Amino acid sequence: MVTPDMTTTVAGIEFKNPVLTASGTFGYGLEFTDFLDLDRLGGLVTKGLSAAPRKGNPPARVVETPAGMLNAIGLQNIGVPSFLADKLPKLREYDTKVIANVFGATEAAYVEACRMLDGAEGLAGIELNVSCPNTEEGGMIFGVDPAALGHVTRLCRKETKLPLIVKLSPNVTDIRLMARCARDAGADALSLVNTFVGMAIDVERRRPVLANVCGGLSGPAIRPLAVWLTWQVRQAVEIPIIGIGGIMSARDVVEFLLAGASAVQVGTASFVTPSASADIVTELSNWLSERNIASVRELIGGLEVPPRG
């Protein structure tokens, strides 16, 4: 059996393996050291950071739904300055790529957050969250309006020399259009998807379960939707894609790779099993060995669509 080459490159960042953790599901990374060795991960993406701290939405904020969950956290976070002072120095002790997920209420706020992060030692890249469905100021407008997306991406591009990944919203009519806008504005890579807007109702009380009324749907329920969007974006743009949505196992990772993703992010699975991301790395390596696949990169975009007829 071969020991497979797990390395992959996205936006110029060389990852030791294609498994990253998704923003908002892995805290600031350090919360997971009881459960796994962060060195095992290709990379980790922080909770969405804004220039100033935010308090978020009132409860209830999360609820389980069929094969998934809805969340409306409201982007509660410690702010970029605390991240730089308290979290990043500790993360530097680990051999994994740290990506800061960033959002803002206004273009100016996005720009400010990117400027503060630019040049930070130990930061491998910035992921722009233009797609949070849960706050009026969460940047959703930037995720659904092609002109606004292009504009904010261009402004952030100017602010930082770090690799820039734009995280796309699935809550659009044509994601290919958004992908092209982000690429034209200077995105080095795209990550997709963020959560789908959804709603759950407490039928006895006749009230929405979440205080925010709606929330973002994540988990296995969204995986087929996310795989399809990955495949569509793969055909629209040539820049690398990070696939996200309902990944629970190595098999699910392979699905995204075949659809055209160069790496993936594990989200909700880390709530179910805190060690899920590292477990998936091991499982993926075994999956490749068992099939005598020498490099994980062989899978990227490897989907074969039989001719119809």
Ligand X SMILES: Cc1cc2nc3c(=O)[nH]c(=O)nc-3n(C[C@H](O)[C@H](O)[C@H](O)COP(=O)(O)OP(=O)(O)OC[C@H]3O[C@@H](n4cnc5c(N)ncnc54)[C@H](O)[C@@H]3O)c2cc1C
Ligand Y SMILES: Cc1cc2nc3c(=O)[nH]c(=O)nc-3n(C[C@H](O)[C@H](O)[C@H](O)COP(=O)(O)O)c2cc1C
Sites of contact with other proteins (CB under 8 A): 24-27, 31-32, 34-35, 47, 55-56, 58-64, 67-69, 71, 73, 76, 219-220, 268, 270-275
Question: Residue 220: which of 67, 57, 82 has the closest Cα?
Answer: 67
CB of 76 to other proteins, least distance (A): 5
Given ligand X, ligand Y, other proteins, none, residue 274, with its beta carbon under 5 to 8 Å by kind, binds other proteins
Neighbours of 213 (CB within 10 A): 12
Cα–Cα distance, 2 to 299 (Å, whole number):
16
Closest distance between other proteins and the C-beta of residue 233, in Å?
27
Q: Which does 48 bind (CB under 5 to 8 A by kind): ligand X, other proteins, ligand Y, none?
A: ligand Y
* Cβ neighbours for 103, distance < 8 A, ≥ 6 positions apart: 48, 49, 50, 75, 110, 113, 128, 129, 130, 132, 138, 139
Which residue lies nearer to ligand Y by CB, 24 or 150? 24
286 SS3 class = helix
Neighbours of 202 (CB within 10 A): 12
- In the complex, which residues of this chain contact ligand Y (CB under 6 A)? 22-25, 47-48, 71, 73, 75, 101, 129, 132, 167, 194-195, 218-219, 222, 244-247, 266-268
Residues that bind ligand X (CB under 6 A): 63-64
Residue 70 or 288: which CB sits closer to ligand Y? 70
Torsion-angle region of residue 238: left (phi > 0), alpha (psi -120 to 50) or beta? alpha
Q: How far is the CB of 26 from other proteins (least distance, A)?
A: 6
Tell me the three state secondary structure of residue 273: coil
Strand partners, 265: 20, 244
C-alpha to C-alpha distance for 277 and 74, rounded to whole angstroms:
24
Residue tagged active-site, from 114, 132, 156, 181: 132
Q: Could you tell which of ligand X, other proteins, ligand Y, none binds residue 23, using a CB distance below 5 to 8 A set by kind?
A: ligand Y
Catalytic site residue 132?
yes
Q: State which residue, 7 or 65, has the beta carbon closest to ligand Y.
A: 65
Tell me the closest approach of the beta carbon of residue 221 to ligand X, in angstroms.
14
Annotated catalytic residues are 132
